[in-house]
Amino acid sequence: MRGTARSIAVGEGEVTLESATADVTVRACPNGPVLVRGADAVRDEDGTLHPATRPVVAVCACAKSQRMPWCDGTHKVVRRG
């Protein structure tokens, strides 16, 4: 089994996507989260590993979520610059 890790910038920080395969796709939603398909886990800046329990997970890009690194919809009420 081959493994892969890929870092992406989200919000004010960075997360690392980890997968047993190289088939991970990332799509940034305008004014919303980063949708990640195929990752087994997301490692935050502190090194904490968060298992991805769904085929597609939404990673917070506004850095205001109460469920970091996951999106909780807070971006919908955050005032934009």
pTM for the model stands at 0.80
pLDDT tens, 18-75?
888 768 889 999 999 999 999 999 998 888 999 999 999 999 999 999 999 999 999 9
Cis before 69 (ω within 30): yes
pLDDT band at 79 (very low <50, low <70, confident <90, very high): confident
Position 13, amino acid? G
pLDDT band at 2 (very low <50, low <70, confident <90, very high): very low
Are the C-beta atoms of 55 and 37 separated by less than 8 Å?
Answer: yes
What local confidence, expressed as pLDDT, does residue 50 receive?
95
